[in-house]
Amino acid sequence: MAFGPFEIILLVVLAALVFFMFRNSRKRQAEARELQAKVVPGAKVMTNFGLFGTIESIDDEENRVELEVAPGTVVTVHRQTVARVIEPALVPAVDETADEVASEPEFGERIDTTPTDETPDTKKSED
């Protein structure tokens, strides 16, 4: 049984559609995983229905998120209604030691490179 050119083109188009369908499905799953990783207490989010708020707490068992939409006003929504993370929660920065801060100048900071007259050797010789 031989296939004509029309059947071959039809099979190629069908294979391309299936390929792109699986590829888009994987992209959506990766985006959903990335969004769920950003949904943490303290993050500012927007829901599917346009409500903006800050996440106060997350209940994984019940799939509920408590959002503070105004100071003192907390609403409970389903976790899947969180559509976008506007501002991720602030992660505390690693504290630098005093030596690292003193040795590394900030951008635009001038460093005094002129040698000083007093060194430990000259102090001892003056005495």
Dist CA 67 CA 58 (whole Å): 9
Instruction: Encode pLDDT of 94-106 as tens digits.
Output: 555 555 555 666 6
Residue located via tokens 């060194």:
119
Condensed to tens digits (0 to 9), the pLDDT of residues 2-26 reads 778 899 999 999 999 999 999 999 9
How many degrees, rounded to 5, is the angle at CA 73 between CA 68 and CA 74?
50
Mean pLDDT of the chain: 81
Residue 68 has pLDDT above 90, yes or no: yes
Task: State both tokens at 108.
Answer: 């635009």
Q: Would the CA dihedral through 96, 98, 103, 105 be positive or negative?
A: positive
